Chains A and B, each alone.
Chain A
Amino acid sequence: MSAPVLSRRLFLSASVMAGGGLLFDMAIPIAQAADASAVMLTAFVRIMPDNSVTIGAKNPEIGQGIKTMLPMLIAEELDVAWAQVRIEQTVVQESLYGPQVAGGSRATPVNWLPMRRAGAAARSMLVTAAAQLWGVDPARLTTGEGSVKDPATGKSATYASLAASAAALPVPDLETVPLKAPERFRIIGTPIKGVDTPAIVAGTPLFGIDLVLPGMLYAVLETCPVFGGTIKSANFDAIRAMPGIAHVLTIKGNGQAESLFDGIAILSESWWTANKARDALKIVWDTGTLTDFSSAGYEKAASERLAGKAETDIVRAGDVDARFSAAAKTVRADYSYPFLAHAPLEPQNCTALFKDGALEIWAPSQAPESGRKLVSTALNLPPEKITLRLTRIGGGFGRRLMNEYMVAAAAIAAQVPGIPVKLLYSRRDDMRRDFYRPAGWHGFSAALDAKGQMTALRDHFVTFGKDGKAARAAELGATELPAGLLPDILLEQSLLATNMPTGWLRAPGSNALAFAFQAFLDEVAEAGGKTLPDLLRELLSLKAEVPMGRGTFTSARAIAVIDKVCAMAGWKGGKGAKGSGRGFAFYFSHAGYFAEIVDASVATDGSVTIDKVWVAGDVGSQIINPLNALHQVQGSVIEGIGQALSGQKIVQTGGAVDQGNFDDYPLLRMPDAPEMDVAFVTSEYPPTGLGEPALPPVIPALVNAIYAATGKRIRTLPITADMLTA
């Protein structure tokens, strides 16, 4: 992702921004003030005549709390009271607002300074306006609660009274505009409730699925259950003749899962009617050899690969072979995990209107700008002819980083100009038309010396991809710890072909790799006569820092969270009372350091109960919204437990996905949500994101706890009762 930008050009363009037609309350472009006497200061701040302040929230809200958090940063530096603030979702226009993506837990690091600078710039303009009005030096003026004050004279002026003259002033240099010292924060660091919470609780329409436009038709889309299949023929006329069906359309795909597959769209005034008509749909698909792909086939191929030589090196450091020949002890184990679906509770949907050669789209998308590009290419329409509005999103988890529903909605709308169309997936569509967390297989071995020190690690990773390149979200990085710490390490891979579309699931890569690596390291620790926290402390003492992707891994930060969680739980190793045990794991992802401990009990029937979870995390110097931070951690941890324990596994047969709803793809339910203690260790580093990094370590902590309770190593997910009763 490109660096955060909030250029002067961006600010100056605010005043000339044009707004399109608009029917959806929460998508009013911030610059399109309903009240003519309101004043825009910067692209993000609108001062209202009653001295309330409207702040633009630019990023997609998927439940991660960003619609509250980014405006908190602006409000802090603008120096207004939170009670004065109203928040509006902005349109998608990255040239004006900077990156508008919900992914990678990147919003905090990317926006921490730019959003504060936006608020500070507006404040500075208001202060200058007051100084000019009163003929005094701006340096002696103060602000607070939406007013500029002159302590020397006792004069005070509201922002509203100064806004018009402030707007005529030049925008200060964003790089040098003064920012508050953290000890003066009054909004940042305080628990702020979600801005949409009252509307959600009242059942107010907020989500993409709720949007209704005059004359709108609903669409269902049938695509080939075998990914990549194309249409040979279909009984269009029979469907067209059914009551309530307005259109039956052929959608010609381009063969790309992330853009547009072949399909048949059925349009009706009622989604239920359109969806029911699908039962009568008879399509002959051309699937060629795509039906050869299956989970059983991947299992077989993966075990063959693991038994043989790897195709390529990911990282080869030191002399692993020499360490293994000199080893006093070696540990070997294979780990694997399944494909997973995202299953956000709001099924994929998108509303589009094609009119006069231009498209207007209302999309619950985590990456709307990349959707615009896909639509532009697929429909051969210039991007500037596509207006994109965000709705609130009923769960993302990475699913909505993909935009195929946006392309499909646009392709359908383009065939019925002037009629707004809402494409809505059924739950089965959503489950069977996902971009799955890829399955993976690891053949691990470790060497230990006579003192029980780990001296080398090897992992043969079997994953999906082609032409030497791993598929989307199927990569293992060269910096996967303990690479970078341990001098002798070999990570290598072999690739399997698939037609399964793969994609990023919350904490992509990490959600699977943490399980495999931290569970295997627990085996290595045991072989060395120590606990996993001690093994990790040893590894972390080998190097103070490891360069990683965008940043640097700092060992001291890892040690601090390990120490913290051990202190919280009173860690003395894994052994518990009969049938219960305690497991530990640490993982670094998305710039966050998380150590977690799980207490679990296993009954004689193999059922697992989580008694408690402890979490210690370091995401930098400042927890911006402590309330939402806790929610993100709770949600991540419970999601991880659900992946491991609820039976989540996507299986492919004959090129298509078997699962179709929450009966065969269960989510964790309330009775299984465990008690949790969460603590943040603050450090001197800039704040980073919290949407993801608490998830990965809970899965290995859980399987390590199960081992402590039962002596049984879980090396394959999901955990099933028969693994624990055999």
Chain B
Amino acid sequence: MAISFTVNGSQRDVAGDPDKPLLWVLREDLAMPGTKFGCGVGLCGACTVHLDGAPIRSCQTTLRDVAGARITTIEAVAQTPVGKRITQSWIALDVPQCGYCQAGQIMSATALLTQTPKPTDDDIDAAMAGNLCRCSTYLRIRAAIKAAAGTGA
């Protein structure tokens, strides 16, 4: 039986193993590879998406878990006002290096600014500590969040 939920505003019905993680549902069943696989066990944040507006690790969230939920992914996050400011700030500061972690970083940062429009350094650390960047773009991620929040130095 298919499980229904919305992704970036469109309703999707996905049949298959309800234990399949949302990460692989997005990448394989819905042909949306923007959400990335880094660790598969909730340690790297590369797979971060929004579930009803909250950041979640899609590798740790099953198809069953998202029944009826509203999912937003990197492919459409820039259509939200905060997501738009974040992605523009990311481009302005040229945040990415290899770029592989950045979808997850942007999703976490957008969730942070939606919740806390003027985050402190501690807020940023707390919200972003779950997102690894192997290329170590952390200094620019922090600066880009501040720039988007209008709290930049």
Q: Given A202-B87, A207-B100, A272-B24, A197–B39 Cβ distance below 8 Å?
A: no
- Which of B31, B95, B100, B129 contacts A395, CB < 8 Å? B100
Does A631 have its Cβ within 8 Å of any Cβ on chain B? yes
* Residue from B94, B102, B125, B135 in contact with A627 in the complex, judged by beta carbons closer than 8 Å: B94
Tell me the smallest distance from the CB of A640 to a CB of chain B, in Å. Answer: 10
Closest A residue to B106 by beta carbon equals A201
Instruction: Report the interface size for chain B: residues with CB under 8 A from the other chain.
Output: 54
B34 within 8 Å of A (CB atoms): yes
- Choose among B32, B73, B100 the residue that contacts A345 (Cβ–Cβ < 8 A): B100
A246 beta carbon closer than 8 Å to chain B: no
Q: Does the CB pair B28–A271 fall under 8 Å?
A: yes
Q: Is B101 an interface residue (CB 8 A)?
A: yes
Q: Across the interface, do B139 and A634 meet the contact criterion of CB distance under 8 Å?
A: yes
A678 to B94, CA, bound (A): 17
Q: How far is the CB of A593 from chain B (nearest CB, A)?
A: 22
Is A635 located at the chain interface by the 8 A CB criterion? yes
Query: Of residues A212, A345, A426, A638, which shows the largest number of chain B Cβ atoms within 10 Å of its Cβ?
Result: A345
Indicate if the CB atoms of A427 and B38 lie closer than 8 Å. Answer: yes
Distance from A83 Cβ to chain B, minimum over Cβ atoms (Å): 15
Q: Give which listed residue, A198, A397, A663, contacts B134 with CB less than 8 A.
A: A397
Which of A197, A273, A427, A638 has the most chain B CB atoms closer than 10 A to its own CB? A197
> For the complex, is B6 an interface residue (Cβ under 8 Å from A)?
no
A270 touches which one: B28, B75, B99, B132 (CB < 8 A)?
B28
User: Is B36 a contact partner of A201 (Cβ separation < 8 A)?
Assistant: no
A63 near B98 with CB under 8 A, answer yes
Interface residues of B in 116-147 (CB under 8 A from A): 124-125, 128-142
Q: Are A394 and B98 in contact (CB under 8 A)?
A: yes
Interface bracket on A: 35 or more
Complex interface bits, A624-658 against B, C-beta within 8 A gives 1, otherwise 0:
00011001001101110010000000000000000
Q: B2: CB under 8 A from chain A? A: no
The reply to whether B135 and A63 contact each other, CB–CB distance below 8 Å, is yes
A662 touches B138 (CB 8 A): no
B18 close to chain A: CB less than 8 A: no
Q: Is B64 an interface residue (CB 8 A)?
A: no
- Determine if A661 and B35 form an interchain contact, defined as CB atoms under 8 angstroms apart: no
Q: Are B39 and A661 in contact (CB under 8 A)?
A: yes
Nearest CB of A to B21, in Å:
7
Interface of A, secondary structure class, is loop
Q: How far, in angstroms, from A212 to B27 measured CA to CA in the complex? A: 10
CA separation between A62 and B99, bound complex, in Å?
9
Known: A194-B94, A427-B40. A344 touches B139 (CB 8 A): no
B78 touches A202 (CB 8 A): yes
Residues in B neighbouring A209, C-beta threshold 8 A: 33, 36-37
Q: Which of B74, B91, B128 contacts A670 (CB 8 A)?
A: B128
A209, B35: Cα distance in complex, Å: 11
Interface residues of B (CB under 8 A from A): 17, 20-21, 24, 28, 31-41, 43-44, 46, 73-75, 78, 87, 90-91, 94-103, 106, 124-125, 128-142
A194-B94, A670-B138 known; 14 other A-B pairs, CB under 8 Å?
A64-B97, A197-B96, A203-B32, A203-B74, A343-B134, A344-B100, A395-B98, A628-B94, A631-B97, A642-B136, A662-B132, A669-B130, A670-B125, A673-B142
Listed A/B pairs (18) with beta-carbon separation below 8 Å: A63-B97, A65-B97, A197-B95, A197-B96, A198-B91, A201-B96, A201-B106, A202-B74, A272-B24, A345-B134, A424-B37, A635-B137, A638-B138, A661-B39, A662-B132, A670-B125, A670-B141, A673-B136
